[in-house]
Amino acid sequence: MDYEKLYNSYYMQVYSYVMTIMKDSYYAEDITQEVFYKAMKSSGKFRKDSSESTWLCAIARNTCIDILRKQKKYVQWDEMEIPNHENIEQSLIDKNTAFQIYQLLHNMEEPYQKVFQLRIFGELDFREIGNIFGKTESWARVTYHRAKLKLQERMKIDE
């Protein structure tokens, strides 16, 4: 694996993703560096069943959560500022609904989970999401829409 190429290709995407979670440029820079270090250390574990950017964003998400927990500044999911994208995202304001959505999203199958996360938390447009997966913009739109419908269905079942 060419680590320099990986770093140059995905640095800004990972940094942006981390910024949406941490809301602090100092932490975002530090965590982004750590993400690439972890990726380099564990490159043998990369199964290539997802894109490199998806793999890196998963490492970033887990690293952010670990750091927040270690600092005892763990932000409750419902307290995070989440971009407002449509009706389901608007419901994240409600504390109980936010927790329920995160639980359901955690158990959602791929690629729906990653597409939803990249759209909402990564603030990526559909073209960028399609590129990450090596698919079209239309594929990303349809997959996001299906993920949103799956979340809504599962929320109704849980009520």
pLDDT single digits (tens) 67-105: 877 765 444 444 444 443 444 444 434 445 666 677 777
Q: How far apart are CA 107 and CA 17, in angstroms?
A: 21
Fold of the domain spanning 1-75: Rna Polymerase Sigma Factor; Chain: A (1.10.1740)
At 96 the pLDDT is: 57
Q: Which two tokens stand for residue 63?
A: 């690293």
Question: What angle (nearest 5°) sits at the alpha carbon of residue 149, between those of residues 146 and 153?
Answer: 140
Rg of the chain in Å (alpha carbons): 16
Domain with CATH 1.10.10.10 in the chain: 77-159
* Domain 77-159 -> CATH class: mainly alpha
Does the pTM surpass 0.85? The reply is no
